[in-house]
Amino acid sequence: MARSSVNVVIGGEAGQGLVTIGEFLSRALTRAGYAICVTQDYMSRIRGGHNTFAVRIDPVAVAAPDEAIDLLVALSADTLDIHRGDLSPRALVLADAAVGLGGLPGLAVPYKTLCPKPLYENVAALGVAGALLCLDAAILSGLVAEKFVAKGEAVVAANLEVLAAAMDWAKGQEATFACLAPPTLGPGRLMLHGNEAIALGALAAGVNFSSFYPMTPGTSVIQTLIDQADAMGVTVEQAEDEIAAVVMAVGASYAGARPLVSTSGGGFALMTEGVSLAAMLETPVTVVVAQRPGPATGLPTRTEQADLDLVLYAGHGEFPRAIFAPGDVSQCFHLAHLAVDTAERFQSPVFVLTDQFLADSFRDVPPFDLAALPAVARPLTTVDDPAGYVRYAVTDSGVSPRLLPGFTEATVVLDSDEHTQDGHITEDLAVRVAMQDKRMRKLTGLTAAALPPDLVGEAEGATLLACWGSTLGAALEAAESLRQAGEPACVLHFSQVYPLVGQCFLPILAKARRTVMVEGNYSGQLASLIRRETGYVFDARVARYDGLPFTAAFILSKLREATA
């Protein structure tokens, strides 16, 4: 690639503060006007182990993580050993002078002399890395001051001193690391990770209730809601289990709250009965499923895209649903908003499928235009004829007027058994058919509203890389590499994976020279779904299920293997 993208990896034990350094650096870069893409790799433990925080930086745009490391900030000796083989030809290593460089090219940083206390080593590491990247000192010191302001002036001053000393020290070294090219992006952009963006998109859609049970990597969605709960008027309750969490959300939704539930595959497995309940009661609920590798608890802190089938088929019986799969952080925000609206509009369960990689991946995003967001559908608090109100009135669209209990003289009756239009249990089998037809008619509306996949590039005679969710960035970069090598290539990204509308993409697939489905699971779940829905069979597949996110290099190497 022509762009001068730089990959910085901070590695160390859990508890050594690498996330602090990484977040600092990422925010400074965003403020300076660079594009970033963060990959957090961590082990399922609170202390020790080996974790990394990788920031890929580019003056123009960056879509995916990279594998080769340009600047390695090693907080432990392990980091040097583990990443020895991943260094790019121009790589530089920053390690504590006490640990040494182990023969690698780089700088031994005298943290002991730069810092009055080990506590300040994070800021010193930030200063050294920042100076080598030629980041503006004012941006770094501004951030450090903001971060420590709550701890008092003395702490701020001490940290600023360490920062300045570290930057000075680094500038005085004869390091062969080239400065970043000047940034091209304007100011005012935000830095957030996928789960933050999902929570904020949900807040923008008026979400005001969440019942949850913690499970990585779904929890940080709710944590973000909780952080803003007081300011935004959100009621959050930690439920006793996932079953309670989703059923509580259904109950709250019935009574007029706008709920968001977030979990991971293992928690969602428990929620499935509540999903079926929401469908039968025709009560909106938005569920975020942040995927991680299974089966069972799998690799708790790694990434995968293997829960599409679980979400697609979750719940007993047949009912319509919508499943969104954001490809980047901006899509996380907008699709969370759309998911909430879709749930409200169709009075159905609606899902947002994300994964650990995107959940934890900080990116730079342009600010969101809240005023431009469409209004979200709302339930009724009044009706003309309360005495004649029935909850499940049969309609052409399958969507019935949804009145909230307690606001009028009408009573609102919901039943999970098959029910009459007024909500009461029935075993009249003709009513059963009419009700099932009514519920399933919503699928027509959901299909009409479904997002078509995005085509990036020209499909005619090209290698078409199809993908969904967070694989987008790596696929885009792989396609660009192919084009630069003279091979026509394009990307077809599904940000909604159900319902699928074949007419929207089959003609595109037909134009391509070869079609490859790239997805983060063993069995090719979206490829199978497309085959089931449309009969289309992809020419090839690229699968990844080792717990790591896709990179362009991974996709390209698999493509080479396939053609070799």
Partner 1 sequence: MTDANPYGEFETAWCPGCGNFAIRKAMVAALMELGLPPHNVVFSTGIGQAAKAPHYIRVNLINGLHGRSLPAATGVKLANPELAVFAESGDGCSYGEGGNHFLAAIRRNIDLTYVVHNNQIYGLTKGQASPTTPKGQKTKTQPHGAPSEAFNPVAVAVTMGAGFVARGFAGEVEHLAGLIAAAARHPGFSLVDVLQPCVSFNKVNTYAWYKERCYRLGDDHDPTNRQAALDRALEWGERIPLGVLWRSDRPAFGPMPTGPLAVREPDLKTLSGILAGYA
CB of 10 closer than 8 Å to CB of 52: yes
Distance in Å, CB of 299 to partner 1, minimum = 28
Picking from 57, 335, 315, 403, the residue whose alpha carbon sits closest to that of residue 194 is 335
Taking the least distance from each CB to partner 1, the nearer of 97 and 243 is 243
Taking the least distance from each CB to partner 1, the nearer of 370 and 506 is 370
The angle subtended at Cα 441 by Cα 276 and Cα 375, nearest 5°, is 85
CA distance linking residue 323 with residue 350, whole number of Å: 6
Given 370, 440, 504, 562, the residue binding partner 1 (CB under 8 A): 370
* Residue 424 found at the interface with partner 1 (CB under 8 A): yes
Which pair of tokens denotes residue 135? 């980041």
CB of 93 closer than 8 Å to CB of 80: yes
Taking the least distance from each CB to partner 1, the nearer of 312 and 380 is 380
Cβ contacts of 491 within 8 Å, gap of 6 or more: 454, 455, 456, 457, 464, 465, 466, 467, 472, 475, 476, 479
Given 196, 344, 477, 480, the residue binding partner 1 (CB under 8 A): 196
CA distance linking residue 494 with residue 471, whole number of Å: 10
CA distance linking residue 189 with residue 35, whole number of Å: 10
* Residue 407 found at the interface with partner 1 (CB under 8 A): yes
* Residue 372 found at the interface with partner 1 (CB under 8 A): no
Distance in Å, CB of 287 to partner 1, minimum = 14
* Residue 255 found at the interface with partner 1 (CB under 8 A): yes
* Residue 538 found at the interface with partner 1 (CB under 8 A): no
CA distance linking residue 251 with residue 131, whole number of Å: 54
The angle subtended at Cα 271 by Cα 267 and Cα 277, nearest 5°, is 170
Distance in Å, CB of 293 to partner 1, minimum = 28
CB of 366 closer than 8 Å to CB of 377: no
Interface of this chain with partner 1, residues 291 to 310, rule: CB under 8 A = none
Which pair of tokens denotes residue 477? 């970069």
* Residue 192 found at the interface with partner 1 (CB under 8 A): yes
Stretch binding partner 1 (CB under 8 A), from 37-45, 102-110, 245-253, 515-523: 245-253
DSSP state of 380: B
> For residue 494, what are the β-bridge partners?
468
* Residue 268 found at the interface with partner 1 (CB under 8 A): no
| Sheet containing 260-263, strands listed edge to edge, beginning at the edge strand earlier in sequence | 260-263, 285-291, 349-355, 322-324, 496-498
* Residue 225 found at the interface with partner 1 (CB under 8 A): no
Taking the least distance from each CB to partner 1, the nearer of 232 and 543 is 232
* Residue 374 found at the interface with partner 1 (CB under 8 A): no
Distance in Å, CB of 231 to partner 1, minimum = 5
* Residue 435 found at the interface with partner 1 (CB under 8 A): no
Given 145, 414, 449, 543, the residue binding partner 1 (CB under 8 A): 414
Q: Which residues bind partner 1 (CB under 8 A)?
A: 30-31, 188-192, 196, 200, 203-206, 208-209, 211, 228, 231-233, 235, 237, 239-241, 243-245, 247-259, 273-274, 277, 281, 367-368, 370-371, 376, 379, 381, 386, 404-417, 423-425
